């Protein structure tokens, strides 16, 4: 998932997994958050929080109302100097926010962590209010004046990509006091409902054979080889979601309405336009992607799940069998050290520099791997700030998919390390390209393992898992995007009931999964646990964008002569300084070309072809 700057104190390491499986996994690492601050009550944290307030107020007093004048100056009184000070503040505030957030995500059920996170958020929101003038005032400077300023002043010229990017927001910018109100109310509005969602999800327990399990462990059972275990897990998920559905319905209705209000005030035409703007991608490019994927449903997911049903000896799959392992799949638990070696060796074969950067995550305490109660579910790579280093969160349970998740998040981490040289203002990559390095890291790891596999049955199991992962990344995420579009569109007409949201969910799931999967009672609530719908509306298409892009990129790599790695590292190092069209041009790729998405989807289809051929081989 694309990270955000709100994940803070190192907690005592708890058992990674249930006692009986811990020895098989080996020693799992936990974060070394001391690299940010020794603790939430440390002198260092208190000092930086006080410094942030002092420097923020001083910056406001120095520059507010004076940027038009600064555009005509150079040196310490010029725009370049102001931008340098603003970037230093952004890094400091980001460090504080990252520490508070990472502490909270370490155990979201810990009330002390929740209070710390909430208090820091409140303080930083207040300080951000004193900085809000800067971008608004910059955007009021005439284009010709700003261009002349950047040409004349090298310090301002350094930030040209950021300034040009910022000015794309200009048509949707509101009057200063309204922007101030939106910012200050965000903590008691959208921010509060985001936190309610997180803490509710972390506290949920699902009863399996008399044992109360958290979400991550229960979802993991959907990959169990025993069909009865999968069925029981699915029913437990459905039962608990249903018991708590009123909270999820309230959160969804509130946030959809909150977004609608914001979009209306800002003048966005389409419900996803604000996301496209933040991603720096054109609406027609996303529409072309979504249309291409939807048209490919029959050739991809429908076809694959029909094959899988046959392999499992079923006419149709139950919805809880979607990610079931094949009979050929190994049920071996993969120790952490083996997962580490697998990913680093795959990275190293592509480029030693890539493996060296990823190795720092293992050696430096930059990874939190144990699955434990209260910890954030899923996985992410958090960039923190350029003056520090990223952190990766996974919930490692020893499944093959966990190894691929590790490869994915380390791809993000490598990207964040390389882009960090651009500085706090220009290191952030738009979401559409932020998934490039992560999906590419997965592909490198998969191909390395596949090349080493000679046994036909093992190869079939590996190919099937990869196809499923790609379907989950492309088909499932575009279905999620379509579901969000339906929900946000329907919300404009009034508050939505659980039944209405469930119907919308089932409609897109049936369309995307196809007739080979039987969707029965209980599945109508499974939209409730998807965090992207809450934290980042319309984020999900970035996964499909990244997967299709990487499929095309990987095809170029397989055919390329020497020099591909250098161009690839230049892409990652660019951070947010270049548009996707400029970054892809050296590889001969163009996301605005309608055939671009077809090329990416054809790779998934070719893997299904290979699976079918293996199935026919005696």
What's the chain's average pLDDT? 92
Q: What is the pLDDT of residues 111-150, one digit of tens each?
A: 999 999 999 999 999 999 999 999 999 999 999 999 999 9
**Cβ proximity of 449 and 342 under 8 Å:** yes
**pLDDT at site 22:** 55
Distance CA 396, CA 113 (A): 23
Q: Cβ contacts of residue 254 below 8 Å, gap of 6+?
A: 193
Q: What is the pLDDT of residues 322-336, one digit of tens each?
A: 999 988 887 789 999
Distance CA 151, CA 616 (A): 65
| Ranges for all domains in the chain classified under CATH 1.10.1370.40 | 336-471+545-588
Distance CA 102, CA 11 (A): 10
HSE (CB half, 13 Å, CA atoms) of 214?
20
Given a cut of 70, is residue 446 above it in pLDDT? Answer: yes
**pLDDT at site 11:** 26
Please spell the DSSP secondary structure of 218-240, one letter per residue. HHHGGG-S-HHHHHHHHHHHHHH
Q: Number of H helices and number of E strands within the chain?
A: 29, 7
Given a cut of 80, is residue 74 above it in pLDDT? Answer: yes
**Cβ proximity of 528 and 505 under 8 Å:** no
Assign residue 173 a region (left: φ > 0; alpha: ψ between -120 and 50; beta: otherwise). Answer: beta
Distance of CA 485 to the CA centre of its chain: 19
CATH architecture label of 22-185: Up-down Bundle (1.20)
Q: What's the token pair of residue 163?
A: 């300034």
Please spell the DSSP secondary structure of 381-433, one letter per residue. EE---TTS--EEE----S-HHHHHHHHHHHHHHHHHHHHGGG-TTT-PPPHHH
**pLDDT at site 4:** 33
**pLDDT at site 430:** 84
**Cβ proximity of 351 and 440 under 8 Å:** no
| Ranges for all domains in the chain classified under CATH 1.10.1370.20 | 191-327+472-535
The candidate with the shortest Cα–Cα distance to 190, out of 248, 255, 246, is 255
Strands (E), 487-612: 517-518
Q: Supply the pTM of this predicted model.
A: 0.86
Q: What is the pLDDT of residues 153-198, one digit of tens each?
A: 999 999 999 999 999 999 999 999 999 999 999 989 999 999 999 9
**Cβ proximity of 200 and 244 under 8 Å:** yes
Rg (CA), the chain: 24
Q: Cβ contacts of residue 125 below 8 Å, gap of 6+?
A: 183, 184, 186, 187, 191
End-to-end CA distance of the chain: 40
Instruction: Tell me the pairing of strands 206-208 and 367-368.
Output: unpaired
Distance CA 74, CA 152 (A): 8
Q: What is the pLDDT of residues 10-23, one digit of tens each?
A: 222 222 333 234 57
Confidence band of 616 (pLDDT split at 50, 70, 90): low
- Name the residue with higher pLDDT: 537 or 560: 537
**Cβ proximity of 365 and 29 under 8 Å:** yes
What CATH number does the domain located at 336-471+545-588 have?
A: 1.10.1370.40
The candidate with the shortest Cα–Cα distance to 336, out of 260, 271, 395, is 395
* Range from 49-58, 79-88, 392-401, 429-438 carrying the lowest mean pLDDT: 429-438
DSSP letter assigned to residue 517: E
Name 292's bridge partners: none
Distance CA 260, CA 273 (A): 11
**pLDDT at site 401:** 87
Distance CA 564, CA 547 (A): 19
**pLDDT at site 5:** 35
Helix axes 475-491, 541-559, angle to 10 degrees: 150
Name 367's bridge partners: 392
CB contact burial 354-371 (16+ within 10 A = b; e otherwise): bbebbbebbeebbbbbbb
DSSP letter assigned to residue 212: E
Mean pLDDT of 314-329: 93
Distance CA 340, CA 329 (A): 21
**pLDDT at site 431:** 75
Given a cut of 90, is residue 618 above it in pLDDT? Answer: no
Given a cut of 80, is residue 617 above it in pLDDT? Answer: no
Distance CA 448, CA 441 (A): 11
Please give the class, per CATH, of domain 191-327+472-535. mainly alpha
**pLDDT at site 592:** 83
Mean pLDDT of 504-516: 97
Q: What percent of the chain has pLDDT over 90?
A: 83
Report the range out of 278-282, 444-448, 488-492, 537-541 with the highest average pLDDT. Answer: 488-492
Q: Which residue has the tokens 């009672």?
A: 521
Confidence band of 559 (pLDDT split at 50, 70, 90): confident
Q: What percent of the chain has pLDDT over 70?
A: 96
Q: Which residue has the tokens 């699955």?
A: 371
Q: DSSP 3-state helix, strand, coil percentages of the chain (rounded to 5)?
A: 70, 5, 30
Q: What is the pLDDT of residues 485-498, one digit of tens each?
A: 999 999 999 999 99
| Ranges for all domains in the chain classified under CATH 1.20.140.70 | 22-185
């Amino acid at each position: 998932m694309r990270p955000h700057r709100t994940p803070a104190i190192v907690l005592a390491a708890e058992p990674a997994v249930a006692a009986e499986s811990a020895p098989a996994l080996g020693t799992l690492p936990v974060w070394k958050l001391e690299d940010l601050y020794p603790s939430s009550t440390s002198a260092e944290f208190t000092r930086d929080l006080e410094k942030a307030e002092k420097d923020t107020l001083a910056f406001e007093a120095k520059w507010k109302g004076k940027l038009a004048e600064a555009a005509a100056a150079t040196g310490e009184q010029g725009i370049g100097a102001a931008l340098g000070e603003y970037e230093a503040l952004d890094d400091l505030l980001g460090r504080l926010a990252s520490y508070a957030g990472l502490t909270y995500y370490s155990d979201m059920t810990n009330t002390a962590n929740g209070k710390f996170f909430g208090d820091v958020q409140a303080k930083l929101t207040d300080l951000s209010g004193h900085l809000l003038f800067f971008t608004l005032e910059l955007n009021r400077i005439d284009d010709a004046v700003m261009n002349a300023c950047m040409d004349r002043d090298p310090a301002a010229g350094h930030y040209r990509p950021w300034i040009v990017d910022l000015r794309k927001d200009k048509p949707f910018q509101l009057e200063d006091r309204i922007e101030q109100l939106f910012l200050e109310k965000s903590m008691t509005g959208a921010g509060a409902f985001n936190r309610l969602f997180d803490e509710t999800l972390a506290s949920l327990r699902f009863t399996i054979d008399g044992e109360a399990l958290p979400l991550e462990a229960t979802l993991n059972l959907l990959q169990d080889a025993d069909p009865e275990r999968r069925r029981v897990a699915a029913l437990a998920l459905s039962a608990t979601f249903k018991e708590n559905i009123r909270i999820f319905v309230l959160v969804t209705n509130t946030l959809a309405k909150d977004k609608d209000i914001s979009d209306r005030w800002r003048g966005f035409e389409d419900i996803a336009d604000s996301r496209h703007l933040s991603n720096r991608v054109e609406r027609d490019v996303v529409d072309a992607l979504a249309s291409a994927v939807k048209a490919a449903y029959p050739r991809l997911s429908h076809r694959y799940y029909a094959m899988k049903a046959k392999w499992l000896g079923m006419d149709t799959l139950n919805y809880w069998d979607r990610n079931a392992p094949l009979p050929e799949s190994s049920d071996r638990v993969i120790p952490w050290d083996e997962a580490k070696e697998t990913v680093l060796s795959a990275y190293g074969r592509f480029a030693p520099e890539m493996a060296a950067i990823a190795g720092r995550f293992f050696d430096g305490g930059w990874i939190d791997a144990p699955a434990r109660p209260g910890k954030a579910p899923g996985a992410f790579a958090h960039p923190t700030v350029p003056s520090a280093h990223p952190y990766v969160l996974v919930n490692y349970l020893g499944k093959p998919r966990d190894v691929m998740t590790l490869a994915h998040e380390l791809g993000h981490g490598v990207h964040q390390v390389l882009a960090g040289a651009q500085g706090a203002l220009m290191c952030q990559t738009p979401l559409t390209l932020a998934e490039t390095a992560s999906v590419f890291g997965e592909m490198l790891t998969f191909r390395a393992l596949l090349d080493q596999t000679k046994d036909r049955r093992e190869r079939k199991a590996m190919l099937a898992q990869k196809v499923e992962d790609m379907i989950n990344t492309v088909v499932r995420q575009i279905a999620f995007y379509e579901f969000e579009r339906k929900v946000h569109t329907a919300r404009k007409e009034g508050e939505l009931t659980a039944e209405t949201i469930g119907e919308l969910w089932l409609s897109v799931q049936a369309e995307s999964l196809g007739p080979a999967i039987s969707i029965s009672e209980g599945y109508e609530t499974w939209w409730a646990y998807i965090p992207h719908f809450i934290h980042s509306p319309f984020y999900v298409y970035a996964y499909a964008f990244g997967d299709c892009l990487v499929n095309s990129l990987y095809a170029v790599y397989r055919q390329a002569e020497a020099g591909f790695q250098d161009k690839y590292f230049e892409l990652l190092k660019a951070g947010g300084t270049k548009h996707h069209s400029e970054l892809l041009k050296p590889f001969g790729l163009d996301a605005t070309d309608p055939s671009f998405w077809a090329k990416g989807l054809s790779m998934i289809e070719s893997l299904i072809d290979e699976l079918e051929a293996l199935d026919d081989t005696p």
